[in-house]
Amino acid sequence: MYHLKKMIALMGAVLSIWLVPASAAAQQAEPSDAQAFLVTPLSFVKQLDLDFGDIVPGDTPGVITMDSAGNVSVTGGVIHLEGTQQPARFAGFGAFRQTVLINVDANSYILTRNGGTETMVMDTLLIGSQPPIIINTNPRRFRIINPDGFFFFTIAGRLQVPANAVPGTYEGEFAVTLEYE
C-alpha cells in the first residue's frame, strides 16, 4: 500500500474579458473573471475560501458558528448579516472506494486585521461529511463513494469575536492535508 500526501494547490486561470458594444452611443466596459479548477489523480484543489461574512461587533464578545453547508448561528454580542458567508470548498480526485485521510495543521487559528494588530480566534473546524464531524490534527478517514473518483468537501468552523472589535477585514490561513491510501 502506498501513501501520497498532497497539500492545497490552487491551479486556475483567471481571464478578464472586456465587452464593448458595437454602437458608439453610451459605451461602457465591465470586467468579468473566469476560473478553471484542474484536478489530477490523487490530488485536490481549493475552490472557495472560508468566509464568515459581514459582522457587526457588540459591547460584549460573541461567537459565530458556521456549519458545513454555510448556515450560521450567533451567540453573545455580535450580529451577523445573512447571505455573505460561505464554507471553504475543495475538490479531489482519487479512485472509487479509495480511502482518504483529511486533516488540518492546527486546532485553532488567529485571524489578524489587515493593516492592524487586532485578532480573532477561529477554531472547531467542521468538515462537510455525512454526518458533519469536527476535523483537527488527527486525520479523519473517508472513503470515495463516487464511481468516477471525484469528490468534494467543505470546511467551516467557529469564530470568536471580541467585544468592540475594530472594524476591518480579518484574515488567517489554515492548511488542509489529504493522504490517499
pLDDT at site 130: 67
Residue 10 has pLDDT above 70, yes or no: no
- pLDDT per residue as tens digits for the range 134-147: 887 888 899 999 99
| Residues 160-170, mean pLDDT to the nearest whole number | 96
Residue 89 has a CB neighbour count (10 Å cut-off) of 19
- pLDDT per residue as tens digits for the range 68-123: 999 999 999 999 998 889 999 999 999 999 999 999 999 999 999 999 999 999 99
Burial 143-176 (b: 16+ CB within 10 A, else e): ebeeeebebebbbbbbbbbbeebeeeebeeebeb
pLDDT at site 38: 74
| Residues 126-155, mean pLDDT to the nearest whole number | 87
pLDDT at site 23: 42
Residue 159 has pLDDT above 90, yes or no: yes
pLDDT at site 8: 31
The structural domains of the chain, ordered by start, are 48-180 (2.60.40)
- pLDDT per residue as tens digits for the range 15-65: 222 333 334 445 667 777 777 767 778 889 999 999 999 999 999 999 999
Give me the residue label for grid cell 486556475. 12
Residue 3 has pLDDT above 60, yes or no: no
CA distance to 9, 29, 39, 171, per residue, from 149 (Å): 19, 41, 11, 33
C-alpha cell at 20: 464593448
Residue with more model confidence, 41 or 5:
41
> 3-class SS at 175?
coil
Sheet strands side by side (includes 176-180):
4-7, 176-180, 99-104, 140-143
Whole-angstrom Cα distance, residue 55 to residue 170? 11
Strands (E), the chain: 4-7, 43-48, 54-66, 72-81, 88-93, 99-104, 108-113, 119-127, 133-134, 140-143, 150-161, 170-171, 176-180
Residue 175 has pLDDT above 80, yes or no: yes
Which of 6, 3, 1, 181 shows the shortest CA–CA distance to 92? 6
pLDDT at site 19: 30
**Cα 177–Cα 141–Cα 143 angle in degrees, nearest 5:** 105
